[in-house]
Chains A and B, each alone.
Chain A
């Protein structure tokens, strides 16, 4: 009876203790993320600021802003004076005074440091101004609209290929690491250096083979022209157009990913506790799940997050090669048309996305890896 009672008491106290600790953990967790969030905000602000400095070194952002103001004022003046008889000189004078006033308001008469802060504020609020030449498919000249319109295409292509890549290479690596030294294993090791070739390069070859030579798949674009009327038809058309760009992204990283995962798993499966588990007679599946996958989870997640980072930045050229209407092609078009507002805007969006991904990386890392101590606690 007493022992039972004692047991109960100790159990209760443990429960209370664990409750207390979990509350403490939660507090520490939130403190940690708050601190990380603030640090990351600062990082993003500095990153974006440096981007702006690079872009503005030749006064380009100023030029964008000034021409935007000029265009706006000229249109307003034209609208205001449309029905009033007015000489051209008077009209120009009115416009010029308005432009000067607006420029003062926008802070363009300020010293450079102050101005760069204004640009930073605009950039952080995704206020990128107007494009000079490029127009979004819906007819908007706002850089923000152009970018938002292109973003889904990038997400579709990169998301599909990267997720596929991640899952397939992880799965295959597990299979191969189980049969260390087999022909498949050797083949993957031998061929992995081919991954030093970037996806756009494979893309050029795939276009050459499947579009130019065999004529079975389209050269590029996202959907047939004219687009199929039915939803299903549209879906299949997009799918058909996505095969080549997604494959080139896949091929380029597939072998190196599999190789590095396989090596990683091999290193982990030579640990003593894995031998111990084998000696205990656990099934190989259980060993894999509990003793190999579990400790490598943080690394798997890190690479997953880095893959997400790659989604934002990696596809500029692949998209360009396949004329895929995403952010990458937008940058390319902006470069060839010298549309600075769009270049700066796209760059800043990428900086933003990178920052957010890095934050999520931290978050996931802390949750998955028990070895990561949060908030520097004791």
Chain B
């Protein structure tokens, strides 16, 4: 044990070990932060992507940081509730004859080089019998006042710019000779510009609501589906990739660490017991190891995933089962054979120690320093194993993981459509995790393995 402590002190001498350790620590903290910030049940709900959760998110929006690298800036997404933000004001004036006139003004800068996907206004109102009435118009930087719609609204009403045929027709008439393909293009281009030139500057969306009853009120929430959203972007189901990126960490760590630790500990016990008792037990263990070499490990995992269960925990269990009779039993056996002959074991036998005591107290502690580097280095392979299964479509359906995001990205053509962020984000996370453990494992190997010292 003292040797173990001394060796651990050596970690400070290896910069790669420190980097690895820092990465691992960061991942652990990040995982705890994630579990605290987005509780598991919320994460699952958000990842299931029901309309009520994702209606605010644009589809396939890139993360905001792509704008740092682009010349043509992509429009941002926004979500503002009237009265709660300075840019979206609400002013209510009583009207003679009951009811109010409510004026909403949304002021926003538009300095982008592409059009947003869509703009939605969600109205909520309360009334007894008479619906409130709204009229909406947009004032452009060039001073143009474009009428958008005049309509009565119900208690829950949403208005989508792109779905209003009347608006489109009106915009086509406005831009005669150079008809816009979408309402967004019609609203944000300079009148009479050819080729299309975006009218940059400050816009004002003015919504006039009229209520016809005492105490009747209207509220509005304005959502812009731009082409960038949040720091992680969204996928084809409008899900915020943040959920998957953050929750990927605890899941990957849990899977990787459990698999590596479980496999290593079980393997160690098997080889210790086999060597100690020897005879047919040892022979049996050796034969099982050979059979295990012949079983195609990944293919069996695929079968289990296809036929039985895609639950990540089932796959974890099968992974451990398939790996516990690995080839490392043979190398550990060689060490145990040496240990078995040493004098302190003889002493233990002499004072009447039980078999169990000898195995757990005298034999196993001797190999622990030797299995630690292997254990740490094995973590990335299990983390990537989970990702590999997800890539084949065998990921746990309910859990957001990095591998599943890569799989989605590949399935929905991220490569072909230039949505590189969709692949790069989970890939970077996977890579950092893999490298962190690998750096630490390699350094530990050099520390614990006397033959490698100084090499």
Interface on A for B, CB 8 Å cutoff?
39, 43-44, 46-48, 50-51, 54-55, 57-58, 60, 180, 190, 192-198, 200-201, 204-205, 207-208, 211-213, 219, 263, 266-267, 312-313, 316-317, 320-321, 331-332, 335-336, 338, 340, 343-344, 346-347, 350-351, 354-355, 358
How far is A312 from B299 in the complex, measured between Cα atoms in Å? 11
In the bound complex, residues from chain B placing their C-beta under 8 Å from that of A193 are 16, 20, 435, 438-439, 441-442
How far is A377 from B235 in the complex, measured between Cα atoms in Å? 66
> Least Cβ distance of A18 to chain B in Å?
33
How far is A196 from B290 in the complex, measured between Cα atoms in Å? 25
How far is A212 from B413 in the complex, measured between Cα atoms in Å? 11
CB pair B452–A208 under 8 Å, yes or no, is no
CB pair B430–A201 under 8 Å, yes or no, is yes
Q: Which of A197, A219, A266, A346 has the most CB of B within 10 A?
A: A197
In the bound complex, residues from chain B placing their C-beta under 8 Å from that of A263 are 452, 455
In the bound complex, residues from chain B placing their C-beta under 8 Å from that of A39 are 290
How far is A334 from B304 in the complex, measured between Cα atoms in Å? 14
**Interface segment out of the listed B118-126, B143-151, B222-230, B384-392:** B384-392
CB pair A347–B296 under 8 Å, yes or no, is yes
> Least Cβ distance of B381 to chain A in Å?
7
How far is A295 from B295 in the complex, measured between Cα atoms in Å? 31
**Could you list 7 A-B pairs, sorted by A, with CB under 8 Å?**
A43-B290, A51-B300, A196-B377, A316-B298, A320-B392, A321-B410, A351-B294
CB pair B294–A55 under 8 Å, yes or no, is no
CB pair B442–A331 under 8 Å, yes or no, is no
In the bound complex, residues from chain A placing their C-beta under 8 Å from that of B295 are 47, 50-51, 351, 354
> Least Cβ distance of B281 to chain A in Å?
18
In the bound complex, residues from chain B placing their C-beta under 8 Å from that of A58 are 307-308
How far is A39 from B437 in the complex, measured between Cα atoms in Å? 38
How far is A127 from B452 in the complex, measured between Cα atoms in Å? 50
CB pair B431–A201 under 8 Å, yes or no, is yes
Cβ-closest chain A residue relative to B19: A193
Cβ-closest chain B residue relative to A220: B415
Cβ-closest chain B residue relative to A193: B438
Which of A47, A60, A316 meets B291, CB within 8 Å? A47
How far is A54 from B314 in the complex, measured between Cα atoms in Å? 14
> Least Cβ distance of B312 to chain A in Å?
17
How far is A207 from B387 in the complex, measured between Cα atoms in Å? 18
Judge whether B53 is part of the interface by a CB distance below 8 angstroms: no
Q: With A55-B307, A207-B415 given, is the CB distance from A47 to B294 under 8 Å?
A: yes
CB pair A354–B294 under 8 Å, yes or no, is yes
Which of B290, B394, B406, B416 meets A358, CB within 8 Å? B290
How far is A39 from B283 in the complex, measured between Cα atoms in Å? 13
Q: A54-B304, A196-B437, A350-B299 are in contact. List 19 more A-B contacts (CB 8 A).
A: A48-B294, A51-B299, A54-B300, A193-B20, A193-B441, A196-B434, A197-B430, A201-B387, A204-B410, A208-B423, A219-B416, A313-B298, A316-B392, A320-B392, A332-B392, A346-B299, A347-B302, A351-B294, A351-B296
In the bound complex, residues from chain B placing their C-beta under 8 Å from that of A44 are 294
> Least Cβ distance of B450 to chain A in Å?
11
In the bound complex, residues from chain B placing their C-beta under 8 Å from that of A208 are 415, 420, 423-424
Judge whether B12 is part of the interface by a CB distance below 8 angstroms: no
Judge whether B108 is part of the interface by a CB distance below 8 angstroms: no
Cβ-closest chain A residue relative to B443: A193
How far is A204 from B422 in the complex, measured between Cα atoms in Å? 12
CB pair A43–B287 under 8 Å, yes or no, is yes
How far is A360 from B296 in the complex, measured between Cα atoms in Å? 18
Q: With A212-B415, A263-B455 given, is the CB distance from A343 to B291 under 8 Å?
A: no
Q: With A196-B435, A351-B294 given, is the CB distance from A317 to B442 under 8 Å?
A: no
Judge whether B293 is part of the interface by a CB distance below 8 angstroms: yes
CB pair B299–A336 under 8 Å, yes or no, is no
> Least Cβ distance of A326 to chain B in Å?
14
> Least Cβ distance of B409 to chain A in Å?
9
> Least Cβ distance of B60 to chain A in Å?
16
CB pair A219–B415 under 8 Å, yes or no, is yes
Judge whether B75 is part of the interface by a CB distance below 8 angstroms: no
In the bound complex, residues from chain A placing their C-beta under 8 Å from that of B427 are 201, 204-205
Q: With A58-B307, A343-B306 given, is the CB distance from A267 to B391 under 8 Å?
A: no
> Least Cβ distance of B354 to chain A in Å?
33
Which of A190, A212, A350 meets B16, CB within 8 Å? A190
Give the top 4 A-B pairs by smallest Cβ distance, nearest first: A47-B294, A193-B438, A196-B438, A350-B296
Judge whether B451 is part of the interface by a CB distance below 8 angstroms: yes
CB pair A201–B297 under 8 Å, yes or no, is no
Q: With A51-B295, A196-B438 given, is the CB distance from A212 to B416 under 8 Å?
A: yes
Judge whether B22 is part of the interface by a CB distance below 8 angstroms: no
Judge whether B250 is part of the interface by a CB distance below 8 angstroms: no
How far is A293 from B82 in the complex, measured between Cα atoms in Å? 78
Judge whether B303 is part of the interface by a CB distance below 8 angstroms: yes
Q: Which of B287-325 contact A (CB under 8 A)?
A: 287, 290-291, 293-300, 302-308
In the bound complex, residues from chain A placing their C-beta under 8 Å from that of B297 are 313
How far is A97 from B302 in the complex, measured between Cα atoms in Å? 37
Which of B393, B415, B423 meets A335, CB within 8 Å? B393
Judge whether B418 is part of the interface by a CB distance below 8 angstroms: yes
How far is A44 from B296 in the complex, measured between Cα atoms in Å? 11
> Least Cβ distance of B390 to chain A in Å?
11
> Least Cβ distance of A244 to chain B in Å?
12
Cβ-closest chain A residue relative to B442: A193
Q: Which of B16, B290, B380, B410 has the most CB of A within 10 A?
A: B290
Which of B291, B393, B394, B410 meets A43, CB within 8 Å? B291
